[in-house]
Amino acid sequence: MLLGLIGISLLTITAWVIAYGIRDWRENARFMRAAARETWLIAQHRRGWREYSENNLVRCLNPEIRTIWRGSSEYRRLRSLVLSLQPGHTIPPRPFVVRFGDRILEIVPLQAKLLEMRRFGRRSQEALRETRRRLASIDSGLIDHGSENPRTADSMATDNERRQ
């Protein structure tokens, strides 16, 4: 009798785990289809990164790159997906860029190249130029090539309104 209850319990738990895994896989597949060919900057609030990211980094990026802050619901969703697809199931240090292609996840780490730059919390032409140069050395597709003048707060607000 006891062995029967244990067997039924194990079968129930196994079925639940399998069903949950299938549901999670389907949600990730649906998200990947919807996010195909999209790019996100995953940013953080800590130790000077927020000010630097808002005032300098985001202004240099291609306008099609969306910024997602650590702690947001979008971040949790992306984190779950990155963890499931990333070899070793680890999240790289923030900031980093995530690109989704056709069933391919590409992660472009930025922290190592930009670590010294986070001390430039205030917006400055020098910081913008150096950020643009460092981003170009990582991947030229990250930079806003539309103009050499960095985006203003007004144009960024318009970009954000358009994305929502």
| CATH code assigned at 148 | 3.40.30
Is 42 within the bounds of a domain?
yes
Question: How far is the C-alpha of 23 from the C-alpha of 25, rounded, in Å?
Answer: 5
Is 10 within the bounds of a domain?
no
From start to end of 44-85, where are the E strands?
A: 66-69
- 122 DSSP assignment: S
Is 23 within the bounds of a domain?
no
* Residue pair 101/36 in contact by the 8 Å Cβ criterion: yes
Question: How far is the C-alpha of 132 from the C-alpha of 150, rounded, in Å?
Answer: 9
User: What would the pLDDT profile of 42-100 be if each residue is shown by its tens digit?
Assistant: 888 887 888 888 888 888 888 888 888 888 877 887 787 777 777 777 777 888 888 87
Full residue range of the structural domain in which residue 58 is found: 31-163
Is 11 within the bounds of a domain?
no
Query: Does an H or E element contain 39, and which?
Result: strand 39-43
- What is the number of domains present in the chain? 1
pLDDT at residue 149 in the model: 42
User: What would the pLDDT profile of 103-144 be if each residue is shown by its tens digit?
Assistant: 677 888 888 888 888 888 888 888 888 988 888 888 767 777
Is 7 within the bounds of a domain?
no
Is 13 within the bounds of a domain?
no
Residue holding tokens 């195909």?
36
Question: How far is the C-alpha of 83 from the C-alpha of 66, rounded, in Å?
Answer: 20
Question: How far is the C-alpha of 132 from the C-alpha of 125, rounded, in Å?
Answer: 10
Confidence of residue 146 (pLDDT cuts 50, 70, 90): low
Is 5 within the bounds of a domain?
no
Q: Is residue 151 scored above 70 in pLDDT?
A: no
By C-alpha distance, which of 23, 26, 33 is closest to 100? 33
Is 102 within the bounds of a domain?
yes
pTM of the model: 0.64
Q: Is residue 35 scored above 70 in pLDDT?
A: no
Q: Is residue 33 scored above 60 in pLDDT?
A: yes
